[in-house]
Amino acid sequence: MDRDTFAYSTKFFRDYSGPTRGASCQSHEHVDYIEKPEIFTYADFFKDYLIPNDPCVFSAKFTEGWGSRRKWVTPDGKPNFEYLLRTFGEAVVPVANCDVKEYNSNPKEHLKLKEYISYWREHIKKSYRSPRGCLYLKDWHLHRVFPEQDVYTTPIYFSSDWLNEYWDAISVDDYRFVYMGPKGSWTPFHADVFRSYSWSANICGKKKWLVFPPGQEEFLRDRHGHLPFDITAPDLKKSNLYPRYAQSSPPVEIIQEAGEIVFIPSGWHHQVYNLEDTISINHNWVNGCNVAIMWSFLQDELAAVQREIREWRDSMEDWHLQCQVLMKSYTGIDYKEFYNFLKIIAENRIYVLENHHSEEDASKHSYRAAISGLGMLHAVFDLKRTAKVLTSLNANEEFKKLNPETLSPPPQALLHRLKAAIDTALL
């Protein structure tokens, strides 16, 4: 970070105390296009897009140095099947069938990449028709399986990434994905996991995004309160099925070209189409700007589970624990793990603040190095946001039923340490 950016960021992070869900500075009728990496700073992204929770598109200049853009793409801009086969052909990948609806998603199977590419080539030869349907490789954890491959570098704008910081720390999962699909493949209407941010970079091909600001999805619910699978379906115009559809605003449409990155903010529902044969890299991430939205989402999810099984409340032993189990099976996290998530995020930043003169130690831990790179006041900002959510979690009646005093460290002790680190850093 250069001196001017640091000076600006220092003032911004010290002064900013606005809401996580602030009013947007955009009209939502268009999406800003960021053209030049050399004049667009992390602080610009933070104040103009993360805090207001607004989308934007980064030009292909932001990805032009990536290995995948050189190696995964042919000179005419198509997927380089030969390179992908040589490098990853034996890898097992998840594949969804876009032509089949199963509940509110597409059914998946697992194939070797070489089998999927064989299908894809045949699909192209037959004018994008196949008796197997339109198959879409989705949610492939390539980074986790092939960490040594020169695929991409996460842009600094997305480097404050608490989801992957946490799941890397416990070596269980990650939220970094590769998508590959033929023209016509698509993803149904949804909002991202935990109401996280997402960024999606096209390595090749073209996508169309239909995106809705938070709250607009409420007008798209059917008479039973369910969200649509496909927002372009003719049935949405039937008032007896979708009584509030006429009150909805049209989606914001984004056409994403090869090399470009789309930033989708928290809680923006969207539906996505591949207009050409397309490969993309996607991350979901949470940070201090939207962790309160994640916590609000988790409370809503637990309340929904409790409503579903409320008739067994009196007869089921440890009913509140069963609700946590069910919640984790649906969302991937429960309240105790959310506490552990906040703990690891807090401890990494406390370490950086307490050891910021010890560059050698920080460099041995990639996330601590990234935290240091964003500056000490960013770490303080993160801790303030963590403290706010942790205070709310600790006061939550459902969390209190989980015997939080048995956690290590107990939440109150972590809060005390966290606040002491903030106070010391700001002296």
Domain membership of residue 202 as a residue range: 28-213+249-285
Residues 296 and 365 occupy one common structural domain = yes
- What is the average pLDDT across 20-25? 33
- Surface-to-core class of residue 153, CB atoms within 10 Å of its CB (0-12 exposed, 13-18 middle, 19+ buried): exposed
Q: Which residue has the higher pLDDT, 345 or 7?
A: 345
In a domain, 70, yes or no: yes
In a domain, 235, yes or no: no
Q: Report how far apart, in Å, the C-alpha atoms of 330 and of each of 86, 193, 267, 304, 327 are.
A: 37, 11, 18, 11, 5
| Residue 120 contacts residue 179 (beta carbons within 8 Å) | no
Residues 323 and 209 occupy one common structural domain = no
In a domain, 39, yes or no: yes
Q: How far apart are CA 291 and CA 194, in angstroms?
A: 9
Average pLDDT, the chain: 92
Residues 305 and 281 occupy one common structural domain = no
Confidence label for 358 from pLDDT (cuts 50, 70 and 90): low
In Å, how far from its chain's centre is CA 220?
22
- What is the average pLDDT across 279-286? 98
Residue 30 confidence (pLDDT)? 84
Prior bond to 52 cis, omega within 30?
no
Residues 277 and 303 occupy one common structural domain = no
pLDDT of residue 360 exceeding 80: no
Domain stops at, among 263, 285, 307 = 285
Residue 38 confidence (pLDDT)? 97
- What is the average pLDDT across 132-157? 97
In a domain, 126, yes or no: yes
3-state DSSP helix/strand/coil percent for the chain, to nearest 5?
A: 45, 20, 35
Residue with token string 């601590």 = 368
pLDDT of residue 295 exceeding 60: yes
pLDDT of residue 344 exceeding 50: yes
Residues 279 and 295 occupy one common structural domain = no
Question: What is the percentage of the chain residues whose pLDDT exceeds 90?
Answer: 85
Q: Which residue has the higher pLDDT, 403 or 1?
A: 403
Q: Report how far apart, in Å, the C-alpha atoms of 92 and of each of 135, 162, 297, 330, 383 are.
A: 15, 27, 32, 24, 39
- What is the average pLDDT across 260-277? 98
- What is the average pLDDT across 224-233? 96
pLDDT of residue 223 exceeding 80: yes
Confidence label for 103 from pLDDT (cuts 50, 70 and 90): confident
pLDDT of residue 23 exceeding 90: no
Residues 40 and 131 occupy one common structural domain = yes
Residues 169 and 59 occupy one common structural domain = yes
Residue 10 confidence (pLDDT)? 46
Q: Which residue has the higher pLDDT, 151 or 357?
A: 151
Residue 370 confidence (pLDDT)? 83
Q: Name the nearest CA neighbour of 230 among 56, 100, 94, 95.
A: 100
Q: Name the nearest CA neighbour of 82 among 113, 110, 112.
A: 113
Number of domains comprising the chain? 2
pLDDT of residue 233 exceeding 70: yes
Please list the residues that pair with 178 across neighbouring strands.
140, 281
Domain stops at, among 260, 285, 310 = 285
For 64-196, list the strands marked E by DSSP: 92-97, 108-112, 135-140, 176-181, 186-190
Q: Tell me the pTM.
A: 0.92
**What CATH code is carried by the domain that includes residue 157?**
2.60.120.650
Q: Name the nearest CA neighbour of 250 among 23, 29, 25.
A: 29
Q: How far apart are CA 184 and CA 273, in angstroms?
A: 7
Residues 89 and 65 occupy one common structural domain = yes
Residues 6+ away with beta carbon under 8 Å from 298 = 194, 327, 331, 333, 335, 338
Residue with token string 């201090």 = 288
> Which of these ranges, 22-36, 244-258, 398-412, has the smallest mean pLDDT?
22-36
Encode pLDDT of 65-94 as tens digits.
999 999 999 999 999 999 999 999 999 999
Residues 55 and 198 occupy one common structural domain = yes
173: number of Cβ within 10 Å:
14
Q: How far apart are CA 66 and CA 73, in angstroms?
A: 11
In a domain, 22, yes or no: no
Confidence label for 63 from pLDDT (cuts 50, 70 and 90): very high
26: number of Cβ within 10 Å:
17
Residues 273 and 393 occupy one common structural domain = no
> Which of these ranges, 171-175, 253-257, 273-277, 358-362, has the smallest mean pLDDT?
358-362
Residue 14 confidence (pLDDT)? 44
Domain stops at, among 240, 260, 285 = 285
Residue 27 confidence (pLDDT)? 45
In a domain, 311, yes or no: yes
Residues 51 and 123 occupy one common structural domain = yes
Residues 65 and 150 occupy one common structural domain = yes
Q: Which two tokens stand for residue 111?
A: 């194939």
Confidence label for 355 from pLDDT (cuts 50, 70 and 90): confident
Confidence label for 356 from pLDDT (cuts 50, 70 and 90): confident
